[in-house]
């Protein structure tokens, strides 16, 4: 089982604390989460790097995530790379997929952990 987190339309900025709080609300028990972030219907989203204080709040708030797939258009690569890096610091496997590869993202997120090696952050984002 995995959780589906969707953002649509214009977004003011990448708010990692809001994402961490939403993930914390999804967690039940001690099991780590598997999450599919669907950003395929975003219209506008300003990129702003988080401050060290914001990153510290992220670390204190985000629950364990074992696997995350981020479905997005290439124009949101910076946002996805930042989220992927924050999740990887917490030992999550993370991959990005184009919206046309959403089914592959679902198959990957439901699959068994790969064990060893870091996932390619641009997986599925080829030409």
**Domains detected in the chain:** 3-110 (3.30.750)
pLDDT of residue 114: 56
Residue-wise pLDDT for 62-93, tens only, equals 999 999 999 999 999 999 999 999 999 999 99
CA distances from residue 97 to 49, 74, 101 in whole angstroms, order as listed: 22, 9, 6
pLDDT of residue 31: 86
pLDDT of residue 126: 40
Q: What is the CA radius of gyration of the chain?
A: 14
> Are 121 and 93 within 8 A, CB to CB?
no
**Per-residue buried b or exposed e for 92-124, using 16+ beta carbons within 10 Å of the residue's own CB:** bbbbbbbeebbebbbebbeeeeeeeeebebebb
């Amino acid at each position: 089982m995995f959780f589906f987190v969707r953002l649509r339309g214009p977004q003011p900025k990448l708010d990692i604390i809001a994402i961490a709080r939403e993930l914390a609300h999804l967690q039940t028990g001690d099991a780590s989460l598997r999450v599919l972030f669907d950003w395929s219907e975003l219209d506008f989203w300003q990129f702003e790097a988080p401050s060290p204080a914001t990153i510290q709040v992220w670390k204190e708030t985000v629950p364990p995530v074992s696997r995350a797939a981020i479905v997005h258009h290439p124009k949101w690569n910076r946002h996805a790379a930042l989220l992927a890096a924050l999740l990887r610091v917490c030992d999550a496997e993370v991959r990005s997929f184009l919206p046309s590869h959403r089914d592959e993202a679902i198959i990957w997120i439901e699959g068994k952990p790969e064990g060893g090696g870091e996932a390619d952050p641009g997986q599925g984002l080829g030409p």
